[in-house]
Amino acid sequence: MLNLIFTPFKKKGSLEETVMKIQNGDGPLRNELISSFKPFIAKTVSSVCRRFINESDDEFSIGLIAFNEAIDKYCPTKGSSLLAFAETLVKRRVIDYLRSQSRKQDLIVDLGLDNEESSAQDYLEAEKSMQEYVKLKEAEKRREEILRYQKRLSEFDVTFADLAQNSPKHADARESAISIAKLLVNDPELQEKLLAKKRLPIKQLEAKVKVSRKTIERNRKYIIAVALILNGDFFYLHEYIKGIER
C-alpha cells in the first residue's frame, strides 16, 4: 500500500520537496497529495477510533482537515518526516473531536435527566450498564481481530504455536526483531516482496540491518507476525506491540 502512495511523487522528488511546492502555492499538487494519502489518513484515524473508518465518516473529514493543516505547518528543519508530523497532528485533532462529542453527549444526557426528574441512582445504574456493554463489545471486537490475524498468519505458514515456540525470549532480542519488522513495513520494496511471495526477504534485510543472517532467520516467523500487525488493521494487537517495546 505504501508503494502505491509514494509512486505518484517519485518523479517530483521527495515528499518534503512536494510540500515545499504546495506551501509556495501549488494548489493542484496539494489536491493530488491529499488524495494519494487518503488511505494513510483513514488508517491513522481508525487507529484512534478503534474501528474501521471510511470517507463517509465525520472522523475521516477531521483527519483530512488535519492532514491539510500538517502540509501547511510542516517544517523539514525541525527533524521529523512529513508522515510522522502528519500522523501526530491527525491523531490529536481526532482525539479533540471525540472529546468534544463526548462532552456534548454528556450534556444531552444531563438535560434529559433534569427534564424527566430521574434520580441519581437511575443514572448510575444506566452508566454502569453502558460501561458493561462497552466492555463486552470491545471483547467481541478483540476476539474478531485475533481470528482475522490468525487467518492472515496462516497465509504465511505461521501459527500461534509457532510464535509461542519461536518468539525471542529476551527483551533486547524482541526489540531488535520489532525494529526489523518496522523497517520492513516502512520500505515499500521490501514490504511488496513480503506480501507478494509470503516469505521474509532475508537477503535484502541482511543488507539493511546490523544483525546477522542467522539471527534474522531464527526470528523469521516473529518478524513476519509483527510486520503483519503493523501493516494491517489490527488495532488491539498494535497496542500489544507498543506494550512490549521499551
Query: What does the pLDDT average to over 194-222?
Result: 91
Question: 123 in a domain, yes or no?
Answer: no
> Domain for residue 24, yes or no?
yes
pTM metric for this prediction? 0.48
Domain count, the chain: 2
Round to whole Å and give the CA distance between 40 and 34.
10
Residue 7's pLDDT is what?
44
Q: What is the DSSP letter of 157?
A: T
Boundary (domain end) residue, out of 46, 70, 90: 90
Query: 238 lies in which domain range?
Result: 160-244
Supply 245's cell numbers: 517495546
Q: Is residue 133 part of a domain?
A: no
* pLDDT (average), residues 142-150: 89
Mean local confidence (pLDDT), 51-75: 89
Buried/exposed 76-88: b ≥16 CB within 10 Å, e otherwise: eeeeeebbebbbe
Is residue 173 a contact partner of residue 219, using CB atoms and an 8 Å limit? yes
- Return the pLDDT at 120: 43
Asked if residue 97 belongs to a domain, the reply is: no
For residue 213, pLDDT over 60 is answered with: yes
Structure confidence at residue 4 (pLDDT): 38
136 occurs within a structural domain: no
DSSP 198: S
Percent of the chain with pLDDT over 70: 78
142 vs 79, residue with greater confidence: 142
Q: What is the average pLDDT score of the chain?
A: 80
Tell which of 62, 90, 118 closes a domain: 90
Q: Decide if pLDDT at 207 tops 80.
A: yes
Q: Which of 90, 113, 137 is the last residue of a domain?
A: 90
In which band, very low, low, confident or very high, does the pLDDT at 56 lie, cut at 50, 70 and 90?
Answer: confident
- Assess if residue 197 is contained within a domain: yes
Query: 119 in a domain, yes or no?
Result: no
Residue 44, CA distances (Å) to 62, 140, 233, 246 in order:
11, 22, 10, 22
Residue 26 CA to residue 68 CA, distance in Å, equals 13
Within a domain: 108: no
Alpha-carbon distance of 104 to 102, in angstroms, equals 5
